Chains A and B, each alone.
Chain A
């Protein structure tokens, strides 16, 4: 395997984009990434997308991606692992370059979610769970995470306020993100008093429905040095693991084993410990998810994710900033784009190109964690500035 760098990143402004089609969403971020890298051609394209079929009746992004990005006849491959599709697409592109099969490959991610109504979106998202043994019985995605939350609260004493602190923090950060869907701060009381979706999670514990895309260009390190003048961002760790598709069949309902395994793989590959990492973008699809993820990554001890959030450890100015972008909660969660957008954020932070009032002072090594379903698949990457 050879060294690989991220040399270009692109992400459109996320939101309810009525006027933008699936095809244009892909192309917008793809072109931004190409422009950022200062190149016009790649040798392959991966597209992370959970369910363009259910959201827009459109499959075959392996053609539509390259076609509308103006790079035919470059081969396109759609990668699907529910909400971890973007992270898995990035890993596929990384392996493609690291293997030596190509020098320059694009990883894109997209989801066009607002062409269906709320019921349609709930149905499409629920396909990430076990249809016959979870969805059939009337559970929703917020419901699955709500059950993890109640279990975590009972087992470790995690509080309703600590859950809300995740949303408060991420909205504070996202309000400063020029590309975020919901650029507004929320208070603890607003989160707790918002409409109840699935006890104990309110609407403001849940990530939103979003149209959006993101794209990055990966390049062999040797070639990257001659192509770009920007700070090179090297992929130093990559991990990927699965767990049972049913939440009920997990060893422990209060921990995310697939994330812990993927993180260990990525850290071992990088030869680093979690405390060597400066900041992280993690999969806060629900407030409880961020608490469980920071425990699985080792940022907080098992059961201490709530206190670590409440005491400011993971705040922008804390010891280990988490989701300085605003996370899925505030930035938005166009499912297949999320994992790629995390790489965009890591790269911009490491290059010193993030929005001014949320650029971290020390951002040399960042970690991205992207998760599918109720934690049934996880992808972790570690990037370092050269």
Chain B
């Protein structure tokens, strides 16, 4: 992954930075430059909540190349409130334990590694609360 491509997403992946519409209050994660609700272009900085509930999930058993060593692993869409949902892996949780409605917390984690001994790419995963 090129350095600029990775670097651009750091505010979201490391710090959960989001944009809140000054006109209607909608929170966009990742930030947008126009609000999809009201078309306003004025935002204030905010952060998404780190606590949420699993709205749906799956267990990836046939994984993309850079994730094959980790399969099977659960992935969920987590509702973190304020109208925001995020998709992330579920860590510290067996494939059989995950359930819709489960309380989880977002944590800063290693997400992928570019080959053996390669660069480590970080981001967020959720863990059971």
State whether the Cβ of B51 lies closer than 8 Å to any Cβ in chain A: no
State whether the Cβ of A188 lies closer than 8 Å to any Cβ in chain B: no
**Would you give the shortest CB distance from B75 to chain A, in whole angstroms?**
5
Stretch at the interface among A15-23, A134-142, A222-230, A312-320: A134-142
State whether the Cβ of B2 lies closer than 8 Å to any Cβ in chain A: no
Stretch at the interface among A169-177, A191-199, A231-239, A345-353: A191-199
> A123-B64, A132-B9 are contacts. A198–B73 as well, Cβ < 8 Å?
no
Q: In residues 58-85 of chain B, which contact A (Cβ within 8 Å)?
A: 58-65, 67, 70, 73, 75-77, 85
> A134-B87, A139-B87, A151-B56 are contacts. A119–B30 as well, Cβ < 8 Å?
no
Are A198 and B86 in contact, CB atoms less than 8 angstroms apart?
Answer: no
Are B65 and A123 in contact, CB atoms less than 8 angstroms apart?
Answer: yes
State whether the Cβ of A248 lies closer than 8 Å to any Cβ in chain B: yes
Are B57 and A138 in contact, CB atoms less than 8 angstroms apart?
Answer: no
**Contact partners of B127 in chain A: CB under 8 A:** none
State whether the Cβ of A126 lies closer than 8 Å to any Cβ in chain B: yes
State whether the Cβ of A262 lies closer than 8 Å to any Cβ in chain B: no
**Contact partners of A253 in chain B: CB under 8 A:** 55-56, 77
**Distance of A132 Cα from B6 Cα, bound (Å):** 9
**Would you give the shortest CB distance from A173 to chain B, in whole angstroms?**
26
Are A197 and B62 in contact, CB atoms less than 8 angstroms apart?
Answer: yes
* Cross-interface CB contact of B57 among A147, A196, A246, cutoff 8 Å: A147
How many chain B residues touch the partner (CB < 8 A)? 32
> A248-B86, A248-B87 are contacts. A138–B73 as well, Cβ < 8 Å?
yes
Are A138 and B100 in contact, CB atoms less than 8 angstroms apart?
Answer: no
State whether the Cβ of A249 lies closer than 8 Å to any Cβ in chain B: yes
State whether the Cβ of A294 lies closer than 8 Å to any Cβ in chain B: no
- Which partner residue on chain B sits nearest A200 by CB separation? B58
Are A138 and B55 in contact, CB atoms less than 8 angstroms apart?
Answer: no
**Distance of A154 Cα from B87 Cα, bound (Å):** 18
- Which partner residue on chain B sits nearest A117 by CB separation? B65
Q: In residues 127-169 of chain A, which contact B (Cβ within 8 Å)?
A: 132-140, 142-143, 146-151, 154
Are B100 and A140 in contact, CB atoms less than 8 angstroms apart?
Answer: no
> A198-B62, A199-B95 are contacts. A136–B112 as well, Cβ < 8 Å?
yes
Are A249 and B64 in contact, CB atoms less than 8 angstroms apart?
Answer: no
Given contacts A134-B87, A138-B89, A140-B62, 17 further A-B contacts (CB under 8 A): A123-B64, A133-B86, A136-B111, A136-B112, A138-B112, A140-B64, A142-B62, A143-B60, A146-B58, A147-B77, A197-B62, A198-B61, A199-B59, A244-B36, A248-B77, A249-B85, A253-B55
* 9 nearest A-B pairs in the assembled complex, by CB-CB distance: A146-B58, A151-B56, A248-B85, A119-B65, A199-B59, A147-B56, A138-B67, A248-B87, A198-B58
> Which residues of A are at the interface with B, using a C-beta cutoff of 8 A?
119, 122-123, 126, 132-140, 142-143, 146-151, 154, 195-201, 244, 246-249, 253
What are 25 of the A-B contact pairs (CB < 8 Å)? A119-B64, A132-B9, A133-B86, A136-B9, A136-B112, A136-B123, A137-B87, A137-B111, A138-B73, A138-B89, A139-B75, A139-B87, A140-B63, A143-B60, A146-B58, A147-B76, A148-B56, A149-B58, A150-B57, A150-B100, A196-B59, A198-B59, A198-B62, A199-B59, A253-B55
> Which residues of B are at the interface with A, using a C-beta cutoff of 8 A?
9, 30, 36, 55-65, 67, 70, 73, 75-77, 85-89, 95, 100, 111-112, 121, 123, 125
